Amino acid sequence: MKIDNLASPGSVTALNAATKARGKEMLTSTDFLRLMTKQLQTQDPFAPMDANAMVAQMSQLSTNSGIAEMNVTLRTIVGKLDALAPAPTAKKE
């Protein structure tokens, strides 16, 4: 996802600095929504953001959120399966 399309360079730079200060390399969905809100507040009403680009970015955010949620669920399932599996026994020679 290109964040440069969502907000002015100054706000992107500030958000990147804040993100790195938190020890993260990637922007979160909260960061994305902040950028999008800022872009909507500051856009030129006579030249709004392309609706197709906005829908594509929202779709991408939704997909990423779904994948993250699925990873958490799969980790939970793996943990439960590991708890049910018998512990491996050492081979006797």
Q: Which of 70, 1, 72, 76 is nearest to 31 (CA)?
A: 1
Residue pLDDT, tens place only, 4-47:
444 445 555 665 666 566 665 667 778 878 887 888 788 777 77
3-state DSSP call for residue 18?
A: helix
Distance, CA of 11 to CA of 38 (rounded, Å): 8
Distance, CA of 13 to CA of 15 (rounded, Å): 5
| Average of per-residue pLDDT across 68-80 | 92
Report the helix count and the strand count for the chain, using DSSP H and E: 3, 0
**Whole-number pLDDT of residue 92:** 64
68 has a pLDDT exceeding 70: yes
Q: How far from chain centre, in Å, is Cα 80? A: 26
Distance, CA of 54 to CA of 59 (rounded, Å): 9
Please state, rounded to an integer, the average pLDDT across all residues of the chain.
Answer: 74
64 has a pLDDT exceeding 60: yes
**Whole-number pLDDT of residue 7:** 47
The tokens of 15 are what? 């958000």
**Whole-number pLDDT of residue 43:** 78
| Average of per-residue pLDDT across 39-57 | 78
